[in-house]
Amino acid sequence: MKTQAPPKHSKILILDFGSQYTQVIGRRIRELQVYSEIVRFDTSADTIAREQPNGIILSGGPASVYENGAPQIDPKIFSLGIPVLGICYGLMQMAHHLGGQVRYTGRREYGAGTLDVTNESQLFDGLGAQVDVWNSHGDEVTALPSGFRVAARTSGSPFAAVEDPQRRLYGLQFHPEVAHTPRGREILQNFVYHICHCTMDWTMGSFIDDACERVRAQVGDNKVVLGLSGGVDSSVVAALLHKAIGDQLTCIFVNNGLLRAREEEVVQRVFGENFHIKLKYVDASERFLNNLRGIVEPEEKRKVIGNEFIKVFEDAIVDLAKPDHGSPSNNHQFKFLAQGTLYPDVIESIAIGGNPAHVIKSHHNVGGLPEKMHFELVEPVRQLFKDEVRQAGLQLGLPKEIVYRQPFPGPGLAVRILGEVTPERLRILRDADTIVQSEMEASDWYYRVWQSFAVLLPVQTVGVMGDQRTYDYTIALRIVESQDGMTADWVRLPYELLARISNRIVNEVKGVNRVVLDISTKPPSTIEWE
C-alpha cells in the first residue's frame, strides 16, 4: 500500500469489499475535509497499524459472509484500538468475526426505510429520534457480539445500527454515504470528527502546497514534459507543475486535426499567453488525416490515432532536444513525463462475484506513453477525485471554461463522424458542434449536463431548400447526463432550445438538411456513437 499524504494529515482508511459505493464513501469523507484512502479488504492489521489512520471504514459489498471465497477482513484490525465503522457487508464482517451471528436471508432488503434511534449513540448525535435511510443488503445480523448494543432499529431490522463504544466499533446495516440517506453526511461527520477526532486539514490549498513540494523533491532540477490535451486533468497538471517548477516544465500540445473549432487557440491563449507556460504547439493535422484515409471501423480509427499520437509526441520531444533549442542533442533531456492520472485510476479494483468489465471501447488518452523513452512518471494529482481536480484547477487560476469543460474523447471528432473521416465531413461536424456548444452555453445548459455534442451520420436524405431539392447529411444530437460516464441518460432539454439548435444547424451548416435527437440510455447504448 502506498500512501502519498504527508503524515501530518488526519486520515481515514476505507477497506473495499467491492461495493459500488466505495468510492462514494471516499469522496464523502474528503468532502468533510478529511483525507481518505481506499485499500483492499485484505490489507493486514500490521500494514494498517503502520499507516496510523484516525479511523477505518469497512465498505459494503455484494458477497454473503458465508459464501465460498467471500472476502474476509484480518480480524486483528478490530483490536488495533482504531475506531471502525462497518457499513452493510462491513457490519456483517464485524459481527461475524467478533462472535455475533449473521444470517443469509436469501432476499435483499432494498430501498428506503426509517431508522428509530434507540440510545445516545455518538454516531447519531444531533439527528433526533428518526432518520430516513437507504438499505441494500442480503445478510442480516441476528445476534450481537459481546460488548455490542443496539443503537438504532428499523421495522424490519432490530440491528440496523450497533455499537461497542468502549472499543469504538460501530456498524450500520444501511448506507449513510448515498444521497438517499439525506442525513448520512451528519452520521459520517459524527464518526470522523467526534469518534475518530479527525481535523479538517484536507483542503485544496494545502494539497497544492504539499503537491508542489513533492514534485520539487521528486524532479530536482531535471526537466519534465507533459502532453497537454486541453482536457481538465492535463490542464490542472500543467498549472500545478508550472507553479511547482516553472520553466523546468515543457508542455506539448498536439493538434491532431480532430479537435473542436478554435480549440488550439483556446489552449495556446490560456497556457501560453496567460500562464506563460513553455508550450510547444505541433500541428500534425495532415499526418493524422492522411493516416485515417479510407478507415471506417471505429476501433481501427482509435488504433491509428493512438499510434500516430505516440509518434508525433516522440518527434516533438526529439525536436525539442535539438541544439537550436539551446540544449544538447539527445532526447533524454526530459527525465520525467507528467501524467494526469486520477485517484479512481489508481484504486486497485477488486472484482467480487462478478466478471471483470469487458473492454467495450479502447480508450486512448494522452497518458500512457511513450514507453520506449523510459521516462520516470510525475503524477501530481493521482490522489485526487475528479471534483477535487476541478477545485485545484480553480485555485491555481485556471478559467472556468477549462475547469468545467465536458469530457472530450482522445480520438476527437473522428469517433463522431460515422464512416470515413474526410476534411469536408470534419468541416460539417465542426460547424454543427460549434452551434451545439454555443447554444448550450448561452442557455446555461452546458455546465448542467455531462456531454452535449453533434454526431455526423453517414446518411443522406432528401430535403428542400427554397425551390431546390437537397440531398444532404444528417446530424444527431447526443446530450446526456451522467455521474462518471459509466451509465448515462439523455437530457430532457426544453423544446425551444432543441428547436433553436436544429434550426441553426440546418440553416447555417452547409451540407446538412436534417437533425435528429438521440434518446437512448447507456446501457445498452454508449455515449459516443463509435
Residue 411 phi, psi dihedral angles, 5° rounding: -75, 5
Q: Which of 177, 379, 439, 530 is catalytic?
A: 177
Please state the closest distance from residue 303 (CB atom) to ligand XMP, in A: 10
- Least Cα distance to 187 among 118, 144, 128 occurs for 128
- Which of residues 202 and 309 has its CB atom nearest to ligand XMP in the complex? 309
The answer to whether residue 424 is catalytic is: no
In 140-295, alpha helices (H): 184-189, 204-219, 232-245, 263-267, 285-292
Residue from the set 121, 135, 255, 365 that interacts with ligand XMP by CB under 6 A = 365
For residues 267 and 272, what is the distance between their CA atoms, to the nearest angstrom?
Answer: 8
- Region binding ligand XMP by CB under 6 A among candidate stretches 236-244, 316-324, 363-371, 387-395: 363-371
Q: Which of 37, 51, 88, 439 is catalytic?
A: 88
Residue from the set 28, 175, 364, 405 that interacts with ligand XMP by CB under 6 A = 364
- Which of residues 278 and 364 has its CB atom nearest to ligand XMP in the complex? 364
The answer to whether residue 88 is catalytic is: yes
Please state the closest distance from residue 475 (CB atom) to ligand XMP, in A: 17
Size of the site for ligand XMP (CB under 6 A): 16
Please state the closest distance from residue 232 (CB atom) to ligand XMP, in A: 12
Strand partners, 480: 451, 490
Which residue in the block uniquely carries the three cell numbers 482536457?
Answer: 231
307 binds ligand XMP (CB under 6 A): no
- Which of residues 326 and 524 has its CB atom nearest to ligand XMP in the complex? 524
For residues 176 and 153, what is the distance between their CA atoms, to the nearest angstrom?
Answer: 14
- Which of residues 46 and 387 has its CB atom nearest to ligand XMP in the complex? 387
How many of the other CB atoms lie within 10 Å of CB of 375? Answer: 19
Please state the closest distance from residue 409 (CB atom) to ligand XMP, in A: 3
- Which of residues 138 and 411 has its CB atom nearest to ligand XMP in the complex? 411
- Least Cα distance to 369 among 400, 340, 326 occurs for 340
Q: Please list, residue by residue across 446-468, b when 16 or more beta carbons sit within 10 angstroms of its beta carbon and e when fewer do.
A: beebbbbbbbbbeeeeeeeeeee
- Least Cα distance to 361 among 411, 407, 290 occurs for 411
- Which of residues 174 and 446 has its CB atom nearest to ligand XMP in the complex? 446
Per DSSP, the residues of 440-462 read HHHTT-GGGSSEEEEEEEEEEEE
- Residues 399-458 binding ligand XMP (CB under 6 A) are 407, 409-411, 451
Cell of 337: 513525463
For residues 285 and 289, what is the distance between their CA atoms, to the nearest angstrom?
Answer: 6
- Least Cα distance to 208 among 73, 406, 388 occurs for 388
Please state the closest distance from residue 453 (CB atom) to ligand XMP, in A: 8
Q: Which residues contact 159 (CB under 8 A, 6 or more apart)?
A: 95, 140, 141, 142, 144, 150, 153, 171, 173
- Which of residues 158 and 419 has its CB atom nearest to ligand XMP in the complex? 419
Amino acid symbol at 264: E
For residues 56 and 10, what is the distance between their CA atoms, to the nearest angstrom?
Answer: 12
- Which of residues 287 and 364 has its CB atom nearest to ligand XMP in the complex? 364
3-class state of residue 480 by DSSP: strand
For residues 471 and 110, what is the distance between their CA atoms, to the nearest angstrom?
Answer: 53
Please state the closest distance from residue 200 (CB atom) to ligand XMP, in A: 33
In 103-144, alpha helices (H): none
The answer to whether residue 196 is catalytic is: no
- Residues 60-99 binding ligand XMP (CB under 6 A) are none
For residues 382 and 389, what is the distance between their CA atoms, to the nearest angstrom?
Answer: 10
Q: Which of 137, 175, 242, 364 is catalytic?
A: 175
363 binds ligand XMP (CB under 6 A): yes
Please state the closest distance from residue 485 (CB atom) to ligand XMP, in A: 4
- Report in angstroms the alpha-carbon separations of 46 from 72, 95, 260: 16, 21, 52
Residue from the set 42, 263, 315, 528 that interacts with ligand XMP by CB under 6 A = 528
- Residues 464-523 binding ligand XMP (CB under 6 A) are 485, 522
Please state the closest distance from residue 361 (CB atom) to ligand XMP, in A: 5
197 binds ligand XMP (CB under 6 A): no
Bridging pattern class, strands 157-164 and 169-172: antiparallel
Per DSSP, the residues of 384-417 read --HHHHHHHHHHTT--HHHHTPPP--TTGGGGGB
- Which of residues 207 and 385 has its CB atom nearest to ligand XMP in the complex? 385
For residues 452 and 440, what is the distance between their CA atoms, to the nearest angstrom?
Answer: 8
Strand partners, 249: 224
- Least Cα distance to 227 among 280, 303, 286 occurs for 280
- Which of residues 45 and 449 has its CB atom nearest to ligand XMP in the complex? 449
Convert residues 333-362 into a mask of x (bound to ligand XMP by CB under 6 A) and - (unbound): ---------------------------xx-
**Positions marked active-site:** 88, 175, 177
Residues at the interface with ligand XMP (CB under 6 A): 302, 360-361, 363-365, 407, 409-411, 451, 485, 522, 526-528
